[in-house]
Structure 1
């Protein structure tokens, strides 16, 4: 009985495998940089806590200094006799929580975003630094923009991430049919460490890629949230049953018809801060953003949970009447009052970095990013090995066709 002919790949599989190969080669370096910078940034908070002692202060049985007092101290330290003049003002003061230094921030035209750490009890300046020079900020810029101008780099990162999503799907299609067979279970789900380098490398690409598939898809899609406006809109539309996502950034204004005839002897920001502290605990982080223009409102942001951002609650207050002004964004109401779609969108960043699962979640995100960064390398080695093998095969075939009878006989004997 004649043996049946071995069927070739279908057109669909041929196209799928071609896409996986060439999209992988095109986006490999981008995926590698995004993944490795994500790995490094995963434990930014934990590492910074050790390497930046100025973030902490001893707890004292004294009240905190008010936002306006800390603002004045920081301005004198940074600007000297120019303090308070246009472009020489502190924009916000943050109280990160018990045992932590207060933080006064502003933006400088030359150095960018500036941070001044102060003892919230005494007002002593502990450290002043430009955020752009911080190691983890540099890593983050590589993750967001590949250290390119933002308008260029962010698009490259976004499309590189989109291609990575396609690679994960095409990789699963390549893996799926042959690896579900019972005879292939071991080699499909286990790395054969005692095999040749070529086989181990193939297993690292094939097996580890399968294990991180779901996690890598989640991290990639939550990353696309920051680059493509249609991603958060689509996520919200699907999870809310067809509703439009609220605006991501809202602007509110103070009522300028209530401007007092004479300058107040007190700081309205201090009043807002004092009132809010009665309802919030010192365990959370409270930031007061000062009103700069006459029509600006006072912004207060409170985050009750350290290490995550999804519970952050932002509120606005009229700088003249101190009345609260309703906001329209997702963050202008407590997390618990949001719909399922609201909560999912608010949790996007914390899901992306793994912080939603605490230290265990960060470890998982770290491993997924590390393996994702290895996939372009192991995939390139697989492709290069096949390319060399094909080249060697063609060389041997040409030698057999064009060589002397003795060489041909010798080759056939081998």
Structure 2
């Protein structure tokens, strides 16, 4: 199947592709190269940051209140916002968030409470890469990244149209890179051929990025399928403030932990307790049965005064309660974004596609400069 556009239409598409690329090239390069680095951040963190690991034992983990108290001694005048438990060979850690999105993390041995590392995440390499990826570390950076991502999505579509062969004779050149060609021709092939191959991965990567940037894209999934949320998204449970004297906050959080402790050995690979920040808020437990993906995570809510678990008609709820395809896809957004939904092959594909995406503004700029020089 060939695509033979009228010369005038093709020229318009080419000009749109060119100028959008010149406008967003630097942002696309930064977002793409940081995305490539972050694809394997969990493995790299575990490899390069020894305080994330402990010697596995058969002993029980310390209760949540004990680890929180230990962590809060390391960060005076601050309250922990989250507590994370991992597998028997992984450190537990408490998170202390600050304005601007940065935070401190206290890594602890979950068996005896030994503090392994207190870290200012402003100085953590992988955290800097992450914030650079979606904020550029500048004011209004998140909005700039969002609109640049939308423009890049348009460029992917226009690039596929421009790449598409017009006749049988042009087909072979569209799929192969002539390594022995002149530098100018080689650069042209690197932009066109690699751009085409990577575009089929980048379409998913970019679209999932747009879902975070714009609410309208998140709702697109439901409009395309004609389905509604199977979980009540906006309504969140409220703790019963009349029961304030029922349990101390420490005993309430421990009651939640003890309810899920046994499930850590049989069902869940990691759990995260998100502590209430107001008198009426509930304790949120995010429990994940996988270490490789996030979409099957259960979201469970508990009263902060009684430790009683609410039903699952709140937030994302339990994965087993999801009944619609659109909700399953929506949950997969992050895993699709980094390729994890297809395991390591998917992550490698996302990594390579991100590297190629980072090269496209460079090769495209060289093509444009070459044409200007010739003129």
TM over 0.5: yes
Equivalence for 2:93: 103
Q: RMSD of aligned C-alpha atoms?
A: 2.4
Partner of 1:167: 155
Distance in 1, Cα, partners of 2:236 & 2:91: 29
Q: Measure the CA separation in 2 of the matches of 1:363 and 1:20.
A: 27
The answer to whether the aligner puts 1:60 opposite 2:60 as a matched pair is no
- Would you say the 8 A contact 1:335–1:343 is kept in 2? no
Bigger RCO of structures 1 and 2 (CA < 8 A, at least 6 apart): 2
Q: Distance in 2 between matches of 1:108 and 1:155?
A: 21
**Does residue 205 of structure 1 match 2:202?**
no
Deviation at 1:327, TM superposition (A): 4.9
Separation in structure 1 between the aligned mates of residue 100 and residue 207 of structure 2, nearest angstrom: 35
Summarize the alignment of residues 155-304 of structure 1 with structure 2, pairs less than 5 Å apart.
155-178=143-166, 181-239=167-225, 241-243=226-228, 251-260=236-245, 264=248, 267-281=251-265, 284-304=269-289
Take 2:315 and 2:248, find their aligned partners in 1: how far apart are those partners?
33
SS at match of 1:325: coil
CA–CA separation in structure 2 for the residues paired with 1:48 and 1:344:
28
How far apart are the structure 1 equivalents of 2:37 and 2:128?
Answer: 11
Q: 1:23 to 1:352 in 2, by over 3 A?
A: same
Counterpart residue number, 2:122: 132
Residue 88 of structure 1 deviates from its aligned partner by 2.8
Distance 1:372 1:189, change over 3 A: same
Deviation at 1:29, TM superposition (A): 1.2
Preserved CA contact (<8 Å) 2:65 2:250: no
2:120 corresponds to 1:123: no
Q: Is the 1:63–1:121 Cα contact (8 Å) retained in structure 2?
A: yes
In the alignment, which of 80, 83, 89 is matched to residue 90 of structure 1? 80
Structure 2: how far apart are the matches of 1:162 and 1:362?
A: 22
SS at match of 1:309: coil
Displacement of 1:292 in angstroms is: 4.8
Deviations 1:217-246 (A, max 9, x none): 11111111111111101122222x153686
CA deviation vs aligned residue, 1:87-107 (integer Å, no higher than 9, x gap): 532233211122111111222
Q: 1:377 to 1:227 in 2, by over 3 A?
A: same
The 3-state SS of whatever aligns with 1:212 is helix
SS at match of 2:242: helix
> Residue deviations 1:37-89, cap 9 Å, x none?
1111111111111110100100123111100111111222332xxxxxxx532
Aligned to 1:70: 67
Task: For residue 120 of structure 1, report the CA deviation from its aligned partner.
Answer: 0.6
Residue 114 of structure 1: aligned partner: 104
Query: After the TM superposition, which of the residue ranges 276-285 and 17-26 deviates more from structure 2?
Result: 276-285
Q: How many residues align?
A: 371
Higher mean alpha-carbon deviation, 61-70 vs 108-117, is at 108-117
Structure 2 Cα separation of the partners of residues 352 and 215 of structure 1: 9
Task: Confirm or deny: 8 A CA contact 2:299 2:315 kept in the other structure.
Answer: no
TM-score (normalised: structure 1): 0.83
The structure number with the bigger radius of gyration is 1
In the alignment, does 2:339 pair up with 1:339? no
2:141 paired with 1:153: yes
Q: Structure 2: where are the runs of 5+ without partners?
A: none
Gaps of 5+ in 1: 1-6, 80-86, 391-414
Q: In the TM superposition, what is the alpha-carbon distance from 1:270 to its structure 2 partner?
A: 0.8
Superposed CA deviations along residues 157-199 of structure 1, whole A, max 9, x for unmatched, are 1111111111111122222242xx2222321210011111111
The yes-or-no answer on 1:315 pairing with 2:300 is yes
- Could you state the TM-score of these two structures normalised by the residue count of structure 2? 0.92
1:274 positional shift: 0.7
Tell me which of 27, 30, 37 is aligned to 1:40: 37
Give the Å deviation of 1:200: 0.7
